[in-house]
Amino acid sequence: MGHEQEPEARGSWVSYRPDIKILDCTIRDGGLVCDHHFSDEFVRAVYEADVEAGVDYMECGYKASKKIYPPSQYGPWKHCDEDDMRRVVGDNPTDLKLSVMADAERTDYKEDILPADESVFDTVRVAAYIHQIPIAMDMMIDAHEKGYEVLMQLMAVSVVSDKDLREGLDVLVQSPASAIYIVDSFGALYSEQVRGLTQVYMETVEGTGKDVGFHGHNNQQLAYANTIEALILGANRVDATMNGIGRGAGNCPLELLIGFLKNPKFRLRPVLKCIQDHVVPLKQDMEWGPKIPYNITGQLNCHPRLAIGMRSGDSPDDYVAFYDQMIEEG
């Protein structure tokens, strides 16, 4: 992409943009490490820290189908029933917006998502792969008509062709979503690709009032770096998790992001406090963060599921065998 015209930056590292909105997906993405079996105490600690830190959104989990994901096997944040959520946050008398993720083909959205005026949630974020855009559109219209703010998470963009992406985005800008996120599901994108994608998304949403967001994964230790690149080129919705907790290599660490933004509306200290009191202790039973098997799947632009399996198997440190397997499969 070196020979295309370089896009203009929207700010430098010493400036700040009041329009930037952070979504903390600690419970949603972190929940993928433990089948969403977080204690109420943990979810409350994250909620209180997000409120104090000035974070804009807390994504509390999924509205997953109970037929596909039985409540007997998953923790409450896989389904985010109203009663479970209210047990932790009451009626949420704060400025923090509560968001829930609805996965295409894995959510009984017509039944399980209540009208917004009966719900403690403010926002529904629909997640879909490119081939699921028609379903995603129906889900977004459904949520919008029920009264929610709607966000759109177009997953695994690193394996979507430019042509398909432009066609997909042309459909998604017709949706009621207030933001469309660039999602690097495999942690495969390099900075120049992030810059190119941000430019494409920004052009597509121009004049629609929609925002562009970025959701990174840390397979190559680039989640935070790529988040900054997207921000510089105009994305103003960014995702992060406390201490980078998330499936496999995890996510952009919230503590790094807030430190970078220098935005007076955000405060770092409550995030550090929550991490040391509540997140670090989880490491006794859970693993996340960049490790060599995730480097390899990231570099190969493929789903980290094989790396996750390898880390929980008999030879979690046999990097060479894993590398041999991955290049063989390729």
Residues that bind its own copies (CB under 8 A): 1-3, 6, 8-13, 190-193, 218, 220-226, 228-229, 232, 243, 253, 255-256, 259-260, 268-269, 272-273, 275-276, 280, 292, 295-296, 299, 317-320, 323-324
What letter would DSSP give residue 140? H
Cβ 127 to its own copies, closest distance in Å? 25
Please say which residue, 141 or 225, places its beta carbon nearer to its own copies: 225
Q: What is the DSSP letter of 278?
A: I
Query: Residue 83, exposed/middle/buried by CB under 10 A (0-12, 13-18, 19+)?
Result: exposed
DSSP calls for 3-57:
TSPPPPPS--TT---TT-EEEE-HHHHHGGGTTT---HHHHHHHHHHHHHHT-SE
Nearer to its own copies, 6 or 41 (CB): 6
Strand pairing category for 97-103 and 123-128: parallel
Q: What whole-number distance in Å separates Cα of residue 236 and Cα of residue 306?
A: 33
Q: Closest CB to its own copies among 265 and 273?
A: 273
Find the shortest distance in angstroms from Cβ 269 to its own copies.
Answer: 6
Measured from the Cβ of residue 261, the count of other Cβ atoms closer than 10 Å reads 19
Min dist. Cβ of residue 277 to its own copies (A):
9
Residues 145, 122 contacting (CB under 8 angstroms): no
Which is nearer to its own copies, 103 or 255 (by Cβ)? Answer: 255
Tokens of 141: 């219209």
Residue (76 or 187) nearer to its own copies, CB: 187
Angle at 72 (CA atoms; ends 308, 50), nearest 5 degrees: 65
Shortest CB 37 distance to its own copies, Å: 23
The amino acid at 283: K
At its nearest, how many Å lie between its own copies and the CB of residue 259? 4
Closer by beta carbon to its own copies, 178 or else 297: 297
What is the closest distance, in whole angstroms, from the C-beta atom of residue 210 to its own copies in the complex? 23
Kindly give the interhelix angle for 82-89 and 40-53, rounded to the nearest 10 degrees: 60
122 phi and psi angles, rounded to 5 deg: -100, -30
d(CA 324, CA 177): 43
Q: Between residues 37 and 265, which has the closer beta carbon with respect to its own copies? A: 265
Minimum separation from the CB atom of position 311 to its own copies (A): 13
